[in-house]
A and B are shown apart, each in its own frame.
Chain A
Amino acid sequence: SRKKSVVPGPTEHPLQYYYTFWYSRRTPGRPTSSQSYEQNIKQIGTFASVEQFWRFYSHMVCPGDLSGHSDFHLFKEGIKPMWEDDANKNGGKWIIHLRKGLASRCWENLILAMLGEQFMVGEEICGAVVSVRFQEDIISIWNKTASDQATTARIRDTLRRVLNLPPNTVMEYKTHTDSIKDKTSFRNTKITL
């Protein structure tokens, strides 16, 4: 049973799920075992309503203003932003590579779509990540069942609609099993859509 650390206030607008913000930062060049990854990731906080979300988000640095190798993760409460978590282990993620300058807007649109239940895939969404890197930024959305093609197609189509991406944007789907095998989150065969 889940420990309810937060609840929506009486006049606040409740969300379908409770969510937790996480932040991670890595020194480039260091190896990342799943253990050191877990040590590098910090919880920012959990919220249960629209208003509580804004209280966190309004005080957070925009992804576009982060430097180095940093990630914000927003996952349903109880799901760790790790491939190995029970909710993620059979899942995968849609990955979108963004040229510098687009991350803040795209991240906001992505998480608003997730919090507002715009994806319409039942319990399938696990969370979303924005990854700030040197040459580009990457956003991704994780779901539970990588083999469920109807779900992954619906997530892709919703992403296209809510992100309003440039027409040449490359999207790729990667299973966490593949990420565990090749020990990298993003490099993979790209499927241009």
Chain B
Amino acid sequence: GTRIIYDRKFLLDRRNSPLAQ
């Protein structure tokens, strides 16, 4: 199946999301 791939920038951009608090 498809693999879920994220680059470093995408992951870092989620860091300050309200869902990540």
Whole-angstrom CA separation of A109 from B8 in the bound complex: 8
- How many pairs of A and B residues are in contact by the CB < 8 Å rule? 49
Q: Please tell me the number of chain B residues within 8 Å of chain A, measured between CB atoms.
A: 15
B7 touches A55 (CB 8 A): no
A68 interfacial contact with B, CB 8 Å: no
Q: Which residue of A lies closest to B15 (CB)?
A: A54
Q: Who on chain B is nearest to A109 by CB?
A: B8
A39-66 with Cβ < 8 A to chain B: 50-55, 58
Is A115 part of the contact surface with B, judged by Cβ < 8 Å? Answer: yes
Is B20 in contact with A54, judged by CB distance below 8 angstroms?
yes
Quick one: which of B1-21 are within 8 Å of A by CB? 3-8, 10-12, 14-15, 17, 19-21
Is A113 close to B, CB under 8 A? Answer: yes
CB distance from A64 to the nearest CB of B (A): 18
What's the nearest-Cβ distance from chain B to residue A52, in Å? Answer: 8
Question: Who on chain A is nearest to B14 by CB?
Answer: A50
Bound together, the chains give a CA A38 to CA B9 distance in angstroms of 35
A149–B9 alpha-carbon span in the complex (Å): 30
B11 touches A115 (CB 8 A): yes
Give the docked Cα–Cα distance between A50 and B17 (Å): 10
- Size bin of chain A's contact surface: 20 to 34
- Which of B6, B15, B19, B21 touches A116 (beta carbons < 8 Å)? B6
Cα–Cα, bound, A22→B7 (Å) = 24
Known contacts A13-B14, A112-B8, A116-B8; is-contact A58 B3 (Cβ 8 Å)? no
15 contacts between A and B (CB under 8 A): A9-B19, A11-B19, A16-B4, A51-B19, A51-B20, A53-B11, A54-B15, A55-B20, A55-B21, A112-B12, A116-B8, A116-B10, A117-B4, A117-B6, A118-B5
